[in-house]
Structure 1
Amino acid sequence: MSDHPLVDPSESVYGAVHLGYLVVHSQRLADWHRFGALAIGLHTDRPDADTLRFRLDDRACRFLIRRGTAEDVTALGWHVDDHETFDRILARVSDRGVPIQEGTAEDCALRGVERLWRFPGPKGIATEVFTAPITTDEPLRMLSSGWVTGEAGLGHVAIVSREPEFMHAYYRTLFDSRLSDFIDENVSGLKMKIRFLRVNERHHSIAVANIRGLKIDPIRTRVQHVNIQSATLEDMLAAFGRVTDLGFRMAWSVGQHTNDRELSFYCVTPSGFELEVGWNPVVITPELDRAWTATTYQGISIWGHNTVAPSPLDKFDQLRNVVARLRTPEITVPELIGSTGK
């Protein structure tokens, strides 16, 4: 059965929301500069000693790296098409008693937006919404020939969750997200189920993974990976070569996914979460959307995506993270979950 919105279509914000930017806090700005500019091939700006920004297109900022101790993604910025839709989203938040904070002038300038509002998100990742991104005519200085953004947004974010139903419901309540499909995967003997949620024509802007029957989060970072989309296959493969040549750790080799058919590779960022660089995923056009039926795929990849073995130190850190998370409840936003129906 098609995944229909849970609200009156006239009230739905689906299709008018796009992942705009992400914020990372890190002490490793020099490593991030080398990773982003020389390995991935992004345009890099350095506004000050504590700030690094990456551009992929005419937007002033797509990645904001700020000096901080988290070594993680701390906020996701969502571009909303118009003020009417923006007001509808903020009303959903405020009507449920969730605190909303307006971003400062400095916050907005760093992110390349005119105004923004911030409120809590799952796993402690702040949700930021804005309507007016700042664009620039400054030519892009980058090794890549281009990236696919536009109506599909920046890319997608994948999150491992011990409370996946709460996270699904959060994005359904907030953005009228729709289910694209599921993937069942077996990783090192653990059965994992991943749900892929879309908010526009991109096959998914949020992927939520949980390990069935095991209430643990095996990774330290709040996000498992972030995805960006190369304009050409040659760009994607060239980035793979540069990442390898410069000594950054590869997580998964080049392969093709079962559900969205994207060709991609995964590498490890200086902050420890992964970056997926992909090419040519399925686009869910309005015609496809109307008839879309969620499917469950067995396995993440049709071919490739071979895992690159972690070092013994990496394995020890992973075990330590698992033990720590067994004692720490996962952050949820119960006011914004509505129904947690599967």
Structure 2
Amino acid sequence: MTEIAKLGYVGVESPDHAEWRTWAPETFACMLGPDGADGAVRIKIDDADYRLSVHPGREHRLAYVGWEVLDHRDLDSLEARLEKAGAGPRRADRALCEARGVQELVTFTDLYGQPYEAFCYQSSGYRDWDPPRPHQGFVTGDQGLGHVVFVVPDAKEASEWHTDVLGFRTTDIIRLNPPLGDMWFLRSNPRHHSIAFLQMDGMLGLHHIYLECNSLDDVGYAYYDVLGGDQNPDLLMRLGRHIGDQTVSFYIHNPAGFFIEYGWDGLPIPETEARSPRYIDVTEGKRAEMWGHHFVMQPNETVRPYRR
């Protein structure tokens, strides 16, 4: 389908990066990986040395999204297609590869100028998975780090670029009620989506990252026992189940200015299933969720006005 096998890691900058050192373990039972050379707090959810890296910075900002390919041949092939598409691929030097904890790395940008990376051979020798509280672990492996969702000015345009240039396949398209536009969901492995785009006119930025638990109990414990349930002021959406990927989850504002979706039981799409994208219309009073997921409207500080 594509050289890109899965979402590998995400890096952000934040003036409140140090809060992640306690926030992620206490809230979601994540481990801490090895610190970055610049003092970045790195979050570990499986055998990979890290999956999220929160760097010190003057503002909340996306720093990079790392897409994993399986080997150096796939990286060469992807680099050639990125060059042809005008995405400005550049081979990283040894210092940047070591900073990311990978063997080979290519940097590039998407059609809106957002910083992407493709890499192969990520380090996984720091520590075995050993959560700070009882936890059944996260769904990663062949599906990689959960998923990433962006607010974009044109979801169809963004999706077409990612399918044409990066080889993603469209899973679902959901028509939402105004002021939101359509939402497009794309996959590169059996995970329902590794990336999605929410259309908001004139806006661009990171909306949320999804962490998928192996156990519903771990989601419920975080929601009720750690965060205090429905009354937590940092919630974007209360506990519920989606119509599209059928995930049971909630959304919480985090110290780096975007949202974390924390959930369980995402719908896998077998690689052998050659289906057309589902078009799900939830406008004009139609049910937007199987149940729950009521909005508590909180700001997303990483989404900002975009002008070409």
Q: TM-score range by the shorter chain?
A: 0.7 to 0.9
Cα distance, 1:134 vs structure 2: 1.0
Residues 1:296 and 2:300 aligned together: no
8 Å CA contact 1:195–1:208 kept in 2: the answer is yes
- Which protein is richer in helix relative to its size? 1
> Which piece of structure 1 moves more, 121-130 or 146-155?
121-130
Structure with the largest fraction of strand: 2
Q: Find out whether 1:93 has 2:82 as its counterpart.
A: yes
Say whether residues 1:65 and 2:48 are aligned partners. no
Distance 1:39 1:177 in 2: 32
**Matched letter for residue 221 of structure 2:** A
User: Separation in 2 of the partners of 1:92 and 1:108?
Assistant: 21
Corresponding position: 1:32 with 2:17: no
CA contact (8 A) 2:108 2:117 kept: yes
- The SS at the match of 2:96 is helix
1:329 paired to 2:307:
yes
Computed over aligned residues only, the root mean square deviation of the Cα atoms, in angstroms, reads 2.5
1:154 corresponds in structure 2 to: 145
Q: Which runs of at least 4 in structure 1 moved beyond 6 Å after TM superposition?
A: none
Compute the displacement of 1:105 (Å).
3.2
The percentage of aligned residue pairs carrying the same residue is 26
Tell me if the contact between 1:155 and 1:229 (Cα under 8 Å) persists in the aligned partners.
Answer: yes
User: Hey, what's the Cα distance between the residues in 2 that align with 1:285 and 1:52?
Assistant: 35
Per the alignment, residue 225 of structure 1 pairs with 208
Q: Which amino acid letter does the alignment assign opposite residue 196 of structure 2?
A: A
Number of residues of Structure 1 aligned to a counterpart in Structure 2: 299
Distance 1:49 1:20, change over 3 A: closer
Are the structure 2 counterparts of residues 72 and 245 from structure 1 closer, same or farther at C-alpha, using a change threshold of 3 Å? farther
C-alpha distance after superposition, 1:208-264 (max 9, x if no partner): 1114xxx332xxx71111111011101111222355249671111110000111100
- Determine the structure 1 residue equivalent to 2:5: 17
- State the TM-score, normalized to the length of structure 2: 0.88
* Contact preservation (8 Å) 1:72, 1:273: no
Q: In the TM superposition, what is the alpha-carbon distance from 1:55 to its structure 2 partner?
A: 0.8
The alpha-carbon distance between structure 1 residues 309 and 97, as it changes in their structure 2 partners (threshold 3 A), is: closer
- 1:70 Cα deviation after fit: 3.6
Q: 1:238 to 1:191 in 2, by over 3 A?
A: same
User: What is the alpha-carbon distance in structure 1 between the residues aligned to residue 275 and residue 41 of structure 2?
Assistant: 42
- Letter of the 1:156 counterpart: H
1:236 aligned to which of 219, 228, 234 = 219
Give, in whole Å, the separation in 1 of the partners of 2:197 and 2:77: 25
User: Residue 115 of structure 1: which of 104, 110, 117 is its match?
Assistant: 104
Using CA pairs under 8 Å that are at least 6 residues apart, name the structure with larger relative contact order, 1 or 2. Answer: 1
Contact 1:114 1:132 in 2 (8 A): yes
> How far does residue 309 in structure 1 lie from its aligned partner after superposition?
4.6
Contact 2:173–2:280 at 8 Å: present in 1 too? yes
- How big is the shift at 1:301? 1.4
Cα deviations by residue, 1:69-102 (Å, 9 ceiling, x for unpaired): 2413221101101233222211011223442222
| Aligned-partner Cα distance in 2 for 1:55–1:123 | 29
